[in-house]
Structure 1
Amino acid sequence: MSVEFDFSEEVVLVTGASGALGSAVAEAFADAGATVCAADVRAPDDEDALLDPETVEFYEGDFTDESDVRETIDAVVGAHGRLDYLCNVAGTWRGGDPVDETDADQFDMLFDVNLKTAFLASKHALPHLRETEGAIVSVSARSSLEGGEGDALYRASKAGVRLLTESIAEENRGTVRANAVMPSVIDTPANREMMPDSDHSKWVDPADIAATFMALCSEATSVTSGAAVPVYGEA
C-alpha cells in the first residue's frame, strides 16, 4: 500500500541537511510540497555535501552556536511567517576506543554535534512551533538503548537526544509533539566506505527513514509524542 503526504503551505527546518540522511529528509518534504529550509555548517557546494540546493532554501550556520541558531530560525520565520516542523538531523559518529583511552575533546565534539544542536534548535523553534501546533523529530540511535564497547560517548549523547525528546514532549503536551527516530547502520556512502565488507543489503535507505520523519509530522501520528521509533530494519 502506497502512502502519500501533503505538506503544502507548511514550513519545515532540517538541520544537518547536507548529509545523507538530512538531504533525504529535505528532499522528501520538498517532494510532499513543503517549503524546506535546510541548515548545515556545510554549504551545498561543499565537496562532501549531498544536498540539492535546487529543492530547498539553504541557511549556512553552525548549530552548536546559539547565535547562529537564533539567527537562522529568525530568518526562516521572518521569510515565511511560520514554522511548522523541526527535523533535528545534525549529528556524527566517533568511536573505537574504550572510555579510559578516549580524549576529552571527543566528548565535547559528540555532545555538541549530537545533543547540543538538538537542544538549541528545539529551544529557539518551540515558540514558533507552539503557534502552529507543530512537531519536532530528532535523531537518536538504536545503540543509545544499551552500553557497548568502543563508542560510549556516542551512545551517551544519543541517549541524551532521546531523553531530551521525551522531556520536550512532556513540557509541550497538547501543543507541540516531539518524537525521535532510532537508526542503526544507515546505507550512506560514508558507511559503505568505512565498512566495505558488511552486508549492505541489510542497511536502511535514508529515504525510508525520511518517510518516518514525515509520518511523525503528519496527522497520521497526531496522538504520538515522546516516542522513540525504531528505524533500523534488519541492520
Structure 2
Amino acid sequence: MSVEYDFEGSVALVTGAAGALGGGVVKAFVDAGATVAAADLVDPDEVDLPDGATYYQGDFTDEAAVSSTVAEVVDDHGGIDSLVNVAGTWRGGSPVDETDVDTFDFLFDVNLKTMFLASKHALPHLRESDADGGGTIVSISARSSLEGGEGDSVYRATKAGVRLVTESIAEENRGTVRANAIMPSVIDTEMNREMMPDADHDSWPTPAELADVILFLCSDGAGVTSGAAVPVYGEA
C-alpha cells in the first residue's frame, strides 16, 4: 500500500541535500507539493535538484552561515514549516585510544553541530508555522547510537547526541514544534554497496523508504508524535 502526502503550501528546509538520503528527502517533499530549500556545502553545479527545490550553499558547521542561510530561506519563501537535518557522515575503524582528536572534532561538527545550529536558527520560524500540526523537525540519528561498539565510538556518540537534542527540543517546544529522529542502520546507497559488496543489499532500506517515514513525521498524521526515535533499519 502506498501513501500520498500533501505538503502543498508548506516550506521544507533539508540539510545535507546533495547526498543520497538528502536527495531522496528533497524529491519526496517536492513530489508531495512542498517548496523545498535544499542546503549543502558542495558547489551548486554538483547538485541535481528537481523542479520545486532551490539550492542554498552554506557550511552548517558555521553559525554565521547557518543564520544567514535560514534568513535567506525565510525571505525567499515566507517561512519554514519543516526542518530535516540530514547532514552527517561516518568515520570509524579505530578504537578510542587510536582515534585522533581531529576525527573527534570533525564528527561532532558534521553530525551534531549542524543539527544543533540548524534547529537553533529554524526554531523561531517553525514556531510561527501555520501548517497543520505546527512546525516539525526530523533529524537523522542511528541504530548504533543505542549502544557502544568497537571502532566507531565517536560516531555513535554524535548520533546519540542527535537523539538527546531531539528529545530536548520536543520538551522545550510542546504544543508549537514537534521534533523527532529516525534511526537507520545501513542505507542502500551506491557508496555503501561499494564498501560492502558481499552484504545482503536487499535487506537495506532505500533513501526513498526512509524519506517516506520522514514525511510521515512531518505530516499532521504524526501530530501526536514528538520526542521519538524511530527505528528505520528494516531487515538490515
Structure 1 length normalisation: TM-score?
0.97
Instruction: State whether structure 2 residue 68 is matched by structure 1 residue 71.
Output: yes
Q: 5+ residue gaps in structure 2?
A: none
Match of 1:126 among 123, 126, 129: 123
Instruction: State whether structure 2 residue 161 is matched by structure 1 residue 164.
Output: no
The match for 1:56 is 53
Aligned length: 232
Tell me how far apart the structure 1 counterparts of residues 49 and 9 of structure 2 sit (CA, whole Å).
Answer: 21
Residue 229 of structure 1 and its aligned partner are, at CA, apart by: 0.3
Residue 60 of structure 1 and its aligned partner are, at CA, apart by: 0.3
The match for 1:39 is 39
The match for 1:26 is 26
Match of 2:114 among 106, 114, 117: 117
Q: Which amino acid aligns with 2:231?
A: P
CA contact (8 A) 2:180 2:229 kept: yes
Residue 150 of structure 1 and its aligned partner are, at CA, apart by: 0.4
CA contact (8 A) 2:14 2:39 kept: yes
Q: Which amino acid aligns with 1:90?
A: A
Tell me how far apart the structure 2 counterparts of residues 54 and 5 of structure 1 sit (CA, whole Å).
Answer: 18
CA contact (8 A) 2:145 2:160 kept: yes
Tell me how far apart the structure 2 counterparts of residues 16 and 169 of structure 1 sit (CA, whole Å).
Answer: 22
Tell me how far apart the structure 2 counterparts of residues 87 and 5 of structure 1 sit (CA, whole Å).
Answer: 16
Deviations 1:84-140 (A, max 9, x none): 000000000000000000010000000000000000000000000000120000000
Structure 2 length normalisation: TM-score?
0.96
Tell me how far apart the structure 1 counterparts of residues 155 and 86 of structure 2 sit (CA, whole Å).
Answer: 15
CA contact (8 A) 1:18 1:43 kept: no
The match for 1:16 is 16
CA contact (8 A) 1:11 1:85 kept: yes
Residue 55 of structure 1 and its aligned partner are, at CA, apart by: 4.2
Q: 5+ residue gaps in structure 1?
A: none
Residue 199 of structure 1 and its aligned partner are, at CA, apart by: 1.0
Tell me how far apart the structure 1 counterparts of residues 192 and 111 of structure 2 sit (CA, whole Å).
Answer: 18
How do residues 193-208 of structure 1 correspond to structure 2 at under 5 angstroms?
A: 193-208=194-209
Tell me how far apart the structure 2 counterparts of residues 193 and 60 of structure 1 sit (CA, whole Å).
Answer: 28
Residue 43 of structure 1 and its aligned partner are, at CA, apart by: 2.9
Q: Which amino acid aligns with 2:111?
A: N
Tell me how far apart the structure 1 counterparts of residues 15 and 163 of structure 2 sit (CA, whole Å).
Answer: 17
Tell me how far apart the structure 1 counterparts of residues 229 and 202 of structure 2 sit (CA, whole Å).
Answer: 24
Residue 44 of structure 1 and its aligned partner are, at CA, apart by: 4.3
SS at match of 1:229: strand
Instruction: State whether structure 2 residue 184 is matched by structure 1 residue 155.
Output: no
Deviations 1:14-71 (A, max 9, x none): 000000000000000000000000000013422xx5x425441000000000011001
Tell me how far apart the structure 2 counterparts of residues 127 and 95 of structure 1 sit (CA, whole Å).
Answer: 35
Identity %: 70
Residue 209 of structure 1 and its aligned partner are, at CA, apart by: 0.2
Residue 142 of structure 1 and its aligned partner are, at CA, apart by: 0.2
The match for 1:6 is 6
The match for 1:184 is 185
CA contact (8 A) 2:135 2:177 kept: yes
Q: Which amino acid aligns with 2:4?
A: E
CA contact (8 A) 1:18 1:44 kept: no
CA contact (8 A) 2:60 2:114 kept: yes
Instruction: State whether structure 2 residue 216 is matched by structure 1 residue 230.
Output: no
